[in-house]
Amino acid sequence: MENEYTPLTTSDDALDSQSMLINMGPAHPAMHGVIRLILKLDGEQVMDAEVEIGYLHRAFEKSAEQGNYLQVVPYTDRLNYVSPLINNFGYVCAVEKLMGLQVTERADYIRVIMSEISRVCDHLTCIAATTMELGAFTAFLYFMKAREFLYELVEMVTGARLTISYARVGGVKADLPDGFKEKTLSALKETRKTLKELDLLMTRNRIFVDRLAGVGIISKEDAIAYGITGPFLRATGVDYDVRKAEPYHVYDRIDFDIPVGSNGDSYDRYLVRMEEMQQSMRIIEQALAQMKPGPVCVSPSAKEIPGAEMVDEAKMGKTKGLMELGAVVDPTLEGTGKEHQKLIYPSGTPNEKKVMLPAKENTYGNIEGLMNHFKLIMIGHGMAPPKGEAYFPVEGGTGELGFYVVSDGTDRPYRVRVRPPCFPTMAAFHKIIKGGMVADVIATFGTVNMIAGELDR
């Protein structure tokens, strides 16, 4: 069948006496330097459009084939860098499915809590950027204030704010720190207070409503046909959410609602995200209440020495008694000791020594632990899932985020493929903005929540 598509830039009838072609982006401020739109205009009205992507291509999928399975985790941080924890968990869940691993209940609850914190951060950033690009800079500052409460929680658990690399195949890097529950409940209370202020400021603001209502409309049928998911789909009235459709972790034990719209316009997408943040905070509170308490992370009677001194002692052959000591490590390794591993993996690490790195006391204090560590890290000796393939979808901030992993039986992934949630939306974007005004392009693009690191990969 002959291809009927003709790029605007090369078609003979792209222009007539009443129209013109203009570039919006990649240098346009609202395009964030990563998207180019070629618009065919009749005055201020968009007659046709072409979307050009690829300005932030990082070869994630090819890079994932170069190292072992664990080394892919930091790359996933850079996909949707606003909610990297969801990326982390989506990837390791695919590998766990490939290996037939079942993580513990506590690790599942931790993943749910951290995923929902990330989701709220993602929605806050999306709405904040949209309001700023429409001129509501005060609202942008309020949204950033709310996000800061949650970023402090992420930093408290993972040691970083954006590039967190917190997930591990078989669980998570470390347990939740002392005082996390109280600090989280306090942060959620402050976030709700800020969102209430923003609701009063924006939701019925005449200028804001006029800029979003009836703009960027897509029908339910078109959204499904393009494979659009997430808030963009739910704004059309379709209540599809991976957490409900294909429950993972412990979402099937938690009560929450899926907010939907009816018009499929930018205003409905704003309302859906505002309500989803409330539901995410509801999920976090339930998970904190349901999660079973574990033993104290570090025994107060245990003697601890700096990790560097433990290494030096082991090098000198003075290993007697080292296993009874605790290692004081730097913040990036906190929570990786044996007491923490007992809490997260009470029956031992999944699949014995073939998946999880040993506790730092073992790595520093005995030759078996050191060998186990290096066997997992060295090329050709790491974790090796059986031959096969697995796809695992999770609900990302923008929609269904899926990881497809293929194993050839070695310690390196044969193939890692990502289904980015914003890609189908950008595929339909030319149709969504057609017939609207140039100014409406900005409002509609903001509600897409396109993250180029995830779109281009």
Helix 137-158, helix 180-198: angle, nearest 10:
170
Report the distance separating Cα 92 and Cα 87, nearest Å. Answer: 9
Please give the structure tokens belonging to residue 138.
């005060």
Report the distance separating Cα 214 and Cα 191, nearest Å. Answer: 29
Average pLDDT over residues 363-369: 77
Name the residue among 73, 32, 78, 77 with its Cα closest to residue 55.
Answer: 32
pLDDT for res 176:
86
pLDDT for res 329:
65
Q: Are 417 and 403 in contact (CB under 8 A)?
A: yes
pTM over 0.75: yes
* Distance (Å) of CA 323 to CA 172, 335, 362, 373, 377: 23, 17, 7, 16, 22
26-30, 159-163, 265-269, 358-362: which has the minimum mean pLDDT?
358-362
CA gyration radius, the chain: 24
212-226, 297-311, 383-397, 440-454: which has the minimum mean pLDDT?
297-311
pLDDT for res 386:
86
DSSP letters along 142-183, please? HHHHHHHHHHHHHHHHHS-SSS---EETTEESSPPPTTHHHH
DSSP letters along 391-434, please? EEEEE-SSSEEEEEEEE-SSSSEEEEEEE-THHHHHHSHHHHHT
pLDDT digits (tens, 9 = 90+) for 263-297: 989 999 999 999 999 999 999 999 999 988 642 22
pLDDT for res 269:
93
Residue 279 backbone phi and psi in degrees, to 5: -65, -40
Tell me which of 33 and 210 has the higher pLDDT.
210
Domains belonging to the chain, first-starting first, are 70-93+101-293+420-455 (1.10.645.10)
> How large is the greatest C-alpha to C-alpha distance in the chain, in angstroms?
88
- Residue 260: pLDDT above 70? yes
* Distance (Å) of CA 103 to CA 250, 333, 344, 350, 359: 11, 21, 9, 7, 17
Sign of CA dihedral 115, 121, 124, 128: negative
Name the residue among 208, 172, 148, 194 with its Cα closest to residue 85.
Answer: 172
| DSSP, res 437 | B
Query: Average model confidence (pLDDT) for the chain?
Result: 83
- Cα–chain center distance at 140: 21
pLDDT for res 296:
27
pLDDT digits (tens, 9 = 90+) for 214-242: 888 999 999 999 999 989 999 999 999 99
Place of tokens 């979003």: 212
pLDDT for res 301:
37
Q: How confident is the model at residue 257 (pLDDT cuts 50, 70, 90)?
A: very high
5-14, 228-237, 256-265, 423-432: which has the minimum mean pLDDT?
5-14
pLDDT for res 328:
66
Name the residue among 39, 35, 34, 31 with its Cα closest to residue 9.
Answer: 39
Average pLDDT over residues 310-334: 65
pLDDT digits (tens, 9 = 90+) for 168-213: 888 888 888 889 999 999 999 999 999 999 999 999 999 999 999 9
| DSSP, res 359 | P
pLDDT digits (tens, 9 = 90+) for 326-346: 666 666 665 555 555 554 444
Report the distance separating Cα 73 and Cα 169, nearest Å. Answer: 9
pLDDT for res 2:
47
Please give the structure tokens belonging to residue 50.
């072409």
pLDDT digits (tens, 9 = 90+) for 67-104: 888 889 999 988 888 889 999 999 999 998 888 887 88
pLDDT digits (tens, 9 = 90+) for 114-142: 999 999 999 999 999 999 988 888 989 99
